[in-house]
Amino acid sequence: MKRTLLSLACLLAASGTHAAVIDGSIHQILDDAGVRIGSTVDQVKFTLNSAGNVTIDTLSWEDDSEDLVTPDGIWQPVDVNGDGEIAFFDSVIYLFRDDGSLDASDAVASNDDDFTDTYGDGSIYGFDAYLSLALGNGNYILAIGAQNLSGSEAIAGLNTDDADDWYYPVTCSGAPSDYCDYADFAYGDYRITFSDNVSLPSGQVPEPATTGLLALGLASLGVVRRRKA
């Protein structure tokens, strides 16, 4: 399985429309002593050829925290993306206009949790971020990271706030049928489903944004660039 992977797949819906889907991973960042100091932020570019309503639906959370999958009172791990592993995080997304020089003035919208509309892509808990909004035509950047991601960190491409929330990204310890006890993990996988009016550049691979990593001298560290075997 690849740890950072683009799946520019088109899913055929019953209506005959297609949704653009992209898969990737957020990685922990460790200091020289092996202590977690934050996590990466991915930036995904897309184009809207004509004005319209756009939906952006994330999928990552793999703990049945609402008892939706198995209503037995035990919050069990669920492999929501079907990749054969449990690796997830509490997602936060920021949407920006792409004018070639990303800064705070480009901010359009953001979301952390959504306990109403996020479930259409297979989400099992409202910690999966979701946006639905009217946008003008043009180019945009979507930044995705873990809980406590700020707007400035989304721009810089480095999330240090989540060092306080040490458990993101995480996996579930114990057997698959057991209660999900969070345990540190090197990465957390995500999937983003865009509405069918969004165009994603061919061959785009979501990678950690380099600005913040360069600031820490981490851009070449294997801990943030290793692939899944």
pLDDT of residue 9: 40
Closest CA to 114 of 104, 100, 129: 129
* E strand segments, the chain: 9-12, 18-30, 36-40, 42-48, 52-59, 91-97, 107-111, 130-135, 138-146, 158-159, 170-173, 181-184, 187-194, 198-199
pLDDT at 92 over 60: yes
Phi first, then psi: give them for residue 87, nearest 5 degrees: -155, 115
Instruction: Return the higher-pLDDT residue of 103 and 71.
Output: 103
Asked, as a colleague might, if the bond just before 169 is cis with ω within 30 of 0, I would say yes
Map out the domains of the chain with their CATH numbers: 9-217 (2.60.120.380)
pLDDT in tens, 116-163: 999 999 999 999 999 999 999 999 999 999 998 999 999 999 898 655
